[in-house]
Amino acid sequence: MGTLKTEPARARLDLLAPPVAEAIAQWPANAPVDVNDVLVAPIDADLADTAEFCAAYEVGLDVSANCVVVAGKREGVVRYAACIILATTRADVNGVARRALDVRKASFAPMADAVELTGMEYGGITPIGLPAQWPILVDARVIATPHVIVGSGVRHSKIALPGPALGALPGAQVVEGLARPA
């Protein structure tokens, strides 16, 4: 986890976006990953973007996960999903993600929509605490990573947790081939 100073997220809800803090506070006791394994670390908000963050905090791109919101329309209704991929890869938005959303065309959701619908900051969106109706598509490489760093819903902190935990979130689907090497 590089030079990050982590502590249990449930002890530092102040470092999380409100929907993320709520999800951590309501973490099921019978979840496959204990809530105490979900850690948070404060960071410089100006260094929240992946490349800058990894360089500044000595975190490998291979353990940094990105959460991208994709959207597509079917029968006049916009459908959203979150794609969780490692920073060494790119999401297959118009292939695998599009098919998972069951739409003709998918693209990255507009920033304003992603921020408004998630209640999180752009550049900090995380799969924890997303709208319940959204599928969370997790690339198989992510869950094969022992520990990953992902956004916390805000730009001034990051969450560290076991990679398999992301595949166990409510609404998560582990998807082989969701991402391709960058």
> What would the pLDDT profile of 79-136 be if each residue is shown by its tens digit?
999 999 999 999 999 999 999 999 999 999 999 999 999 999 999 999 999 999 999 9
pLDDT-derived band at 29 (thresholds 50, 70, 90) equals confident
Domain that holds residue 160: 7-181
pLDDT score recorded for residue 91: 95
Q: How far apart are the C-alpha atoms of 16 and 39, rounded to whole Å? A: 11
| Residue 179 and residue 25 in contact, taking contact as beta carbons nearer than 8 Å | no
Q: How far apart are the C-alpha atoms of 85 and 37, rounded to whole Å? A: 20
Give the length of the chain. Answer: 182
Question: E-strand spans in 46-178?
Answer: 65-74, 77-86, 89-91, 106-108, 136-139, 147-151, 157-162, 172-175
Looking at the 3D structure of the chain, how many domains does it have? 1
pLDDT score recorded for residue 39: 98
Q: Is residue 91 in a domain?
A: yes
pLDDT score recorded for residue 117: 97
The one-letter code for the residue type at 151 is G
pLDDT score recorded for residue 123: 92
pLDDT 10s digits, 52-80: 999 999 999 999 999 999 999 999 999 99
pLDDT-derived band at 30 (thresholds 50, 70, 90) equals confident
Q: Is residue 1 in a domain?
A: no
| Residue 11 and residue 21 in contact, taking contact as beta carbons nearer than 8 Å | no
| Residue 140 and residue 84 in contact, taking contact as beta carbons nearer than 8 Å | no
| Residue 1 and residue 149 in contact, taking contact as beta carbons nearer than 8 Å | yes
pTM of the model: 0.94
pLDDT score recorded for residue 182: 85
Q: How far apart are the C-alpha atoms of 20 and 120, rounded to whole Å? A: 8
Count CB atoms within 10 A of the CB of residue 68.
19
pLDDT-derived band at 33 (thresholds 50, 70, 90) equals confident
Q: Is residue 156 in a domain?
A: yes
Q: Is residue 2 in a domain?
A: no
pLDDT 10s digits, 136-167: 999 999 999 999 999 999 999 999 999 999 99
Average pLDDT value over all residues in the chain: 95
pLDDT score recorded for residue 10: 95
Q: Is residue 82 in a domain?
A: yes
Supply the CATH number for residue 111's domain.
Answer: 3.90.960.10
Instruction: Specify which residues 148 forms β-bridges with.
Output: 161
pLDDT-derived band at 28 (thresholds 50, 70, 90) equals confident
